[in-house]
Copies of this chain bind each other. A is one copy, B any other.
Amino acid sequence: MSRATSIPQPAGADQPPNEAEAQSPSVRIIDARTAIDELIFAEDPWYALPLERQRELSDALIRQALREHLERCPSYRDYYARSGAAEPGAVALADIPLVSTRVFKFADLRSVEAHEVERWYRSSGTSGQPSRVPRDRASLERMVGSVHGSVGLLADWDEDEVAVINLGPGREHVEDVWFQYVMSLIEALYRSESRVPRDEAALDEIIGLAQSLLDDYEHLIVVGPPFHVLDLCEHMQRRGVELQAGEGATILTAGGWKRFGGRAIPKQEFRAVVARQFGLRGEGQVRDVFNQVELNTVLFECEAHEKHVPPWVHVAARDPETLQPVPEGEEGMLSYLDASCSAYPCFIVTEDVGVVRRGRCACGREGTRVDVLRRLESRAAKGCALKMGQIHANG
């Protein structure tokens, strides 16, 4: 559990930790550990649990979180009351009133006192107006814990034998403090170097660095936004460089799948290019992680390219009109109930369209998986009627 004390400072943090906490770091969390913390910080990974056990945990943890937020967050409590939902013990998870992620653009939503907020995280998100999302110490520690507890989905490396090159953030994320923080968590696990591939010289340097780290370490992780990884591969192509990483590298993407200019990158094609340029043994070594500023948990892709959802998060794909869950395997608007978040009621419905699957994954693990397919894009937004929130290109 000692890992929990090693929270990296948020990148570019502009608020010092509260003084009281500076004196006795992390004391409150370590002492007040609840069922959810036991799960998040467990030695045995959550993804080894049987499906049924995951379901039970999920139900209990989310109901407990719901009770706490109804108690602590007046605006959510009012919303809950207006919605006519049954009381927390009786409500179906599908009927828990959802907060649209876009609300974070308009309102400050929190379940903790103002002084308990470690930081407000901003995300440029899909439109001009940024979202502002609060995080308290407990939420941040759980976030770190969930990364530690889930990274095993990628592989089981010896910490000392892994080096990381972090590509980014690029200019599109410079103000996106949350994205930087999540990247820093992944980076913090191992020896790492940060390089922004802002020009040809930087790309050349990254190639050289990758080559030397491949020589010196058992395993190299390159982590970055997809288009930066693609820039790097295209640069290697132009330079005629093909690395020979074999099993010795994992390429980890995080962030938007649209390039500047707005076109989406087809993921399979992307994996093929990356595997070829790095000389990987297989495309299974190209993985993606998912997070968004309003969600407190990072979702990792297994070797079958499925994103596994831990039991403290309940995910559903919902009908675009009724917001009720659609049958398993059908496209819907993705919603998350994340019990790991104590700072605000993380019961959210997002602008992402995706598919949810449960049961046994091709990787062999049991559990819930989510496939994030695309952003909601209103047809109207393409016309001459100005849909104000969408002036800027989608991420």
List the interface of chain A (C-beta within 8 A of B).
Answer: 200-201, 204, 238-239
Contacts and interface: CB of A to CB of B under 8 A. Distances in A.
A238 B239 CA distance: 17
Contacts of A239: 201, 204
5 contacts: A200-B200, A201-B238, A201-B239, A204-B204, A204-B239
A1 to B, nearest CB: 46
Contacts of A200: 200
A201 B239 CA distance: 6
User: Chain A binding site: helix, strand, loop or mixed by DSSP?
Assistant: helix
Nearest to A199: B238
Nearest to A239: B201
A28 to B, nearest CB: 50
Contacts of A204: 204, 239
In the complex, the count of this chain's copies comes to 2
Nearest to A203: B200
A204 B204 CA distance: 10
Contacts of A238: 201
A252 to B, nearest CB: 28
Contacts of A201: 238-239
A201 B238 CA distance: 8
A-B complex: 5 closest residue pairs judged by Cβ atoms: A200-B200, A201-B238, A201-B239, A204-B204, A204-B239
A200 B200 CA distance: 8
A328 B358 CA distance: 94
A240 to B, nearest CB: 8
A239 B200 CA distance: 9
A239 to B, nearest CB: 6
A238 B198 CA distance: 13
A300 B378 CA distance: 68
A309 to B, nearest CB: 44
A234 to B, nearest CB: 12
Nearest to A200: B200
A266 B204 CA distance: 32
A204 B203 CA distance: 13
A395 to B, nearest CB: 28
A12 to B, nearest CB: 28
A238 B205 CA distance: 12
Nearest to A238: B201
A238 B204 CA distance: 12
A206 to B, nearest CB: 14
A204 to B, nearest CB: 8
A253 to B, nearest CB: 25
A17 to B, nearest CB: 40
A204 B238 CA distance: 12
A208 to B, nearest CB: 12
A204 B208 CA distance: 14
A59 to B, nearest CB: 57
